[in-house]
Amino acid sequence: MLGVSAGVLGAQLAADDDDDAVVLAPLVVTGTKTSRLITETPVKTELILKEDFDKYNITTFRDALRLIPSARFENECQNCGVNQIQLLGLGTEYTSILFDGAPVYSGLAKVYGADIFPSIFINRIEVVKGGSSVLYGPEAIAGVINLITAEPMSSGMETRSTVKPLNGDATEWNSSIIASQVDPEGLYSISAYGLYYDRDGLDLTGDGFTELAQFNNKVIGLQGWLHPFKNVTLKGTYQYMNQKHRGGDQLDIPEEQARVAESLKHDIHMAHFDWKHGLSEYFDYSLRFSYMYIERESFYGSRGDNEQRAFELAGNGGDVTDDFIENNQSLIDDVARKVWGMTENHVYYVDTQFNHYIGAHTVSYGMQYRYEDLKDGSMFDESVPKTEDDFSNVGFYLQDQWVINKNLEVDPGIRVDKHDNVDGSIYSPRVAARYNAGDEWTMRASWSTGFNAPGAFNEDKHIGVNNGGAIFLVNEEGLQEESSQTFSFGVEYTPKTMDGQFVIHSQVHYTLLKDTFEIDDSGDISGDPNLWLRINGPDSKIFVWESNLRWKFSDNWSVDAGLSYINARFDEEIERVTGLTTDKFIERPEWTGYLGVNYENHDLFDARAYFSYTGSMIALGQESDIWRYTPEFYVLDLEISKSFKLGRKAKMVLSLGVDNVFDERQKDVMNNGEERDPTYLYGPAYPRSYYLSARLGW
């Protein structure tokens, strides 16, 4: 649900074999790593349910982000399509993305992660904001986003297809399917799913170069659950993703021959095994193993740069001549071919957890081990040495959920980590509390910590970006881990007179971020322009206030609304481009908001309107050395859908919608072709576009 609402309005039916049924709030696990009713957990958890995926036409994780208060998705490059997930004002590298509780997605996977994670196999998304390293280790500074699957309750199948013409000849196609088989005796269940996503490159200015990169994603997955003994569950998952980005110009010819081409292909294999065993009502445990392998082919090239390099390699001086270009196309192709890079990334994750239930206490403890290695080099140029990096992190955590009485709970915890790239041990304490002031008011407060250790990959590093040579990214001697403290306080009000149909919530977060990582690419410190250093930059402070509500004011009508304010500042000013020295975070609007109105009448039709507001922010053109305060954006999406029963079990839903009705987007996109700055990009990624969607289930 949208932020606050899942606790009451997202109620689900939990019933045994008898005729008695009890309506319960949904269970969540991310905040404490134990199953808790969302209304009772001391750690504020925001929840997006499967029904919200259907209601808001969510097909990828990117689409779901707009349902999370104070979270944003931002495109950052017109050529390669790199994007950023923002949570509590911080970027992707500060958010731990979990799959069924496992932080297996590496820095390399998260660069394009919001696009590649399909929603077809996700049962719900849980979001915990603030430092969460006490349970999940590195990266969990802004919080954690947990993509959770669930065992099917019955056999069936569902398919969904959407077609969206974007602009001119560009079209977006999206099709997904999931099929489940459940053993009538309850011994096992199995689900298979797939996704096909294809988006043409989009040129909004007519200069022949993309503003939205061409994107293709294919996903197949298989999940199985086995119950060999009483209170035992073994779960296994395998998923394969084949994803391609291509931006620049002349997308129908080889990358080496285009004037500008940024191309990436990812083959991602993921396996996940989870064993849960309840030995008694006083003790249970779980064992988890996860693995991810990524193979990436990358090309970042400009034909003009490669023409100049070929000219120089032929023994010439000065600027390349037209005559040389005309008579040496094959030589230029060979030079350009060496720009291709190859990256291999392995991630291994092991997690153990033991839970003791002792009176008013639930004591949880365990060990987590993560190992990651990465090899990066040129595909065709043996003279370029390979970059190899690896690290391991082992952590031990302890947590006590102490229910003092029905109205008060305190949840202290601590973790100790040893990371290969950090000297000494890292301690991550947290304490959270929930207090019910009567039956209508719930207050939650927490002090949480997080840390981020140097990893094995940073998107600032590409093979052969400028001169075709190797660029090495290493840690400066004495580099400290990034660390954070977050103070959070929130109040939730659910008036009894409205029978749980109205919920309003307001929360503040104040984060102190220390030893922020920065990349020094000047060569001034290292003494070599091809040797980039990861260094500690200035500290920063981030204040976030968010308030949101959900009101179901009739059987057919409901409203979701929210408003967020983010003030993110470094402790000292930083020179960004000529004429801009500021302590403000870049591409961080201070104000954002949303309003969703839903009408549900399955006998007639369903309809929704979703309005989002993005305030002004600072946008940069790094290559063109420009900056500006962006205009405000007001984006309205509309959809109408109709349900049809097809026999006793089958159901079809047809939807027609229009996104970005007012065509709100960047109006000053550069249209000077090869000379443009692809980093000068901000605001909504899609122009006004219509779509038709069909969903069939049985």
Cα separation, 78 vs 76, whole angstroms: 7
Q: How many CB atoms lie within 10 A of CB 520?
A: 15
Rg, the chain, Cα only: 26
- Encoded tokens for 252: 């129908």
Least Cα distance to 300 among 250, 336, 251 occurs for 336
Q: CA dist 243 to 145, 254, 296, 556, Å?
A: 22, 18, 9, 40
Q: Please state whether the predicted TM-score (pTM) of the whole model is above 0.85.
A: yes
DSSP element (H, E) containing 115: helix 113-116
Q: Which residues of 200-235 are buried (b: 16+ CB within 10 A; e: fewer)?
A: bbbbbeebebbbbbbbbbebebebbbbbeeeeebbb
Cα separation, 351 vs 273, whole angstroms: 10
| pLDDT of 463 above 60 | no
Report the percentage of the chain scoring pLDDT > 90: 70
Q: What is the pLDDT of residues 7-48, one digit of tens each?
A: 333 333 333 334 444 445 789 999 999 999 999 999 999 998
Q: What is the pLDDT of residues 278-293, one digit of tens each?
A: 999 999 999 999 999 9
Least Cα distance to 109 among 246, 341, 270 occurs for 270
Q: What is the pLDDT of residues 332-357, one digit of tens each?
A: 999 999 999 999 999 999 999 999 99
Give the pLDDT score at 116.
Answer: 61
Cα separation, 666 vs 630, whole angstroms: 8
Contact, 153 vs 182, CB < 8 A? yes
Least Cα distance to 332 among 258, 408, 226 occurs for 258
Under the phi-then-psi rule, with left for phi > 0, alpha for psi from -120 to 50, and beta for the rest, what region is 139?
left
DSSP element (H, E) containing 335: helix 329-337
| pLDDT of 168 above 50 | yes
Q: How many CB atoms lie within 10 A of CB 15?
A: 11
Q: What is the pLDDT of residues 216-240, one digit of tens each?
A: 999 999 999 999 999 999 999 999 9
Give the pLDDT score at 461.
Answer: 44
Report the percentage of the chain scoring pLDDT > 70: 93
Q: Band of the pLDDT at 118, cuts 50, 70, 90?
A: low
Beta strands in 453-588 (DSSP E): 472-475, 482-493, 502-514, 517-520, 531-536, 540-551, 557-577, 580-584
- Mean pLDDT, rounded, for 592-609: 93
Give the pLDDT score at 24.
Answer: 57
Query: Could you tell me which residue, 364 or 16, shows the higher pLDDT?
Result: 364
Give the pLDDT score at 22.
Answer: 45
CA atoms lying within 13 Å on the CB side of residue 571: 11
Q: CA dist 200 to 164, 214, 659, Å?
A: 11, 5, 17
Q: What is the pLDDT of residues 36-93, one digit of tens each?
A: 999 999 999 999 888 888 777 777 777 888 888 888 888 888 887 777 889 999 988 8
Beta strands in 578-617 (DSSP E): 580-584, 591-601, 605-614
Cα separation, 231 vs 252, whole angstroms: 56
Q: Which fold has domain 3-697?
A: Maltoporin; Chain A (2.40.170)
Residue tagged 């063109």 (tokens): 624
- Encoded tokens for 155: 């056999």
Q: Band of the pLDDT at 372, cuts 50, 70, 90?
A: very high
Contact, 270 vs 292, CB < 8 A? yes
For the sheet with 517-520, list strands across it: 472-475, 531-536, 517-520
**Domain residue ranges in the chain:** 3-697
Q: DSSP assignment, residue 118? A: B
| pLDDT of 248 above 70 | yes
